[in-house]
Structure 1
Amino acid sequence: MTDPTRRDAVDPTGSSDSTALDGLDARDRRDRRERRVVWAVVVWIPLAIVAVTTLVQLLWIPRMPDEIAVHFDATGRPDRWTTPGRAVLGSAMISLSLVLALAIATFGGARAMRRTEGRPVRYLARVRPTAVFAPATTVAVSGIMLALYGLQLEGVEAPAWSVPVAIVGGLLLGALVGWIAWRVLPAPDRSASDAPAATPALDLAPGERAVWTETSSSPWLVAFLIGLALAVTAVPLVLAPEAWWLWVLLFVFVLLLATTAWIRVTVDRNGLVVRTLLGFRLSRVPLDRVISAADVDVLPAEFGGWGFRFDVHGRRGIIIRSGEAIEVERADAPPLVVTVADARTGAALLNALAAAKR
């Protein structure tokens, strides 16, 4: 028979363990709740907006002319037409593509982010800079499409001035929705206690030299999109050869941009250096300007996507992928964040070399 008095003899340390477990459970519940909110803001609400917009356009088809304007020149006059069915289908495809692209930008790399002990992860707050664009962009595009198609109902020829008014109105409506989403979603909390602690420096002997280098590449989807952009810029070169110089410049620009999808990060006596695939230097932090370096976890959504970015805290970022990154606190500039594998070793060596330089 179990002695009921034994409940009072439990080791008092068990209480703290139970409290810690309760804290973890509460954090997990909060994370699940916040992920549901992100899904609602980034996916379900935009999809609902697209569905309602498409339904309205389908109901309008009997009132649309046989040929409906879908493109306008700089003066607001139509220069391209199509059938109402194709116009509605094209509108839906554009809207769904935007929802998909923004969902990828928001959720991209979420699983690669590891939870760091002592630094709770607020997922909703971290993806807030990117998440607000989903409802804002969807509302803006849907509003513009509805306005442009609505102006042509019953075969009415809309005045040229109404087109820019419809576009500006849709953009303002989208900006208002984005502002509301920004105010509703929790702001990232980056207090002093939440700032990344400097990675312990490597133990180098006096006069010992060391070099660390690693490469970082974009996810396959980003690489695919860059390749698609190169292909798209090459098509007009064939179809419109009279403007070949413009398309060549655009192609070269996209090609140079593509080289930044693969970078090499080096830490040595020169400090931290980031170069492109072709060797062009993207950034350099000399040792005498390094205050500290830390290995952190990064989501592209924190910085609004991939590439050269900055976040709401003022950090500058070279964001190639999600996951490990080196964050360098600089003496004369905002912190620099560079995503790269084995970031802990790189940060540890940078701290050691910077300390030896002082």
Structure 2
Amino acid sequence: MSQTRVIDPVGVLFGVALPVLAAASMLFLAHLWEPRLPDEVATHWGVSGPDSFGPVESSAWTMALLVVLVGGGCCAIAALARSLLMMRRYMLVMGLGVTGLMVATYVAVLGSQLDVADAAQTTFPTWSIAVGTIAGAAVGWLGAALLRDGRERIPATQPPAPDLPRGPVESPLVDRVGIGAGTTVVLLGLILVPTVLVCAVADSWWPSVLVAAFAVLVVSLLRFTVIVDEDGIRVRNLATDAVLYDLDEIVGADVTETRPFQDWGGWGLRVKGRGRYGLVTTSGPAVVVTIASGHVFTVTSARAGELAGALNTLADRRGANAPTDATGLTEPSS
């Protein structure tokens, strides 16, 4: 059933129901606190303090709609079980991170104005941005780990074409792609060091927490482990299988040269047309895996030839072991 599921219940819970519940909670809290708030609450702060005010009810509805449309809009794809699992996971984390930011900030803003006669004398609770973003992203990672891949799986009925590369099978064949440990340290330093210096000058440390969480997300998008074995090909990221194609559904694997920006428009997980996905972290060789369902998955790797050869050899064995019908043609595996 999981292979034919269209909607992922976990995705519905975290990607749809949670943002809606968060928005409803904001409306309820604003209604509950309204008697203790000024007639017009501060809704925006400038350099010198609050510079925009409005009724609490209208501000609550505005923020609630933003949570549903922006936060919920980002992570709603998590509910679509047949979309690429890795994309669903990242969109869920980002969407709930945005949701957490907006909810925590709005609640903190209202809380800072409770029992205050003049909202113009209040200060903006900057800490809420970091706290909300990290809390929302953490809930997003929890939901992401629980998502299941429900994309349609169609078995390949023929072995890979004879002109595709073959090679010895070292099972499992493991390759770590993306930036290395040294580059990771440099990248984190380029992001975090300037942030710490700015925070020190401004005597405000909350932005460093927010930037650190963002830096971890960026680095995770550039470090992956590709594994080829008797089960097929899978890509692991942050201790979970982010992409998985079974051996039975692989039509064939080839090697090509690719460039992240020129060919894919950037680094990391990319989409280029319907069903064409790329995990591109460097310029150079890449293994291109064609799937019977119509997906074409490209992964940049210095060992692209080995990966493609091993996949095709394993797929040949799959064909040799498959049952045949009365005409001698290979029957699709169930």
- TM-score grouping bracket, smaller chain normalisation: 0.3 to 0.5
Q: How high is the TM-score relative to the length of structure 2? A: 0.40
Higher helix share: 1
Q: How high is the TM-score relative to the length of structure 1? A: 0.38
Q: Which structure: larger Rg?
A: 1
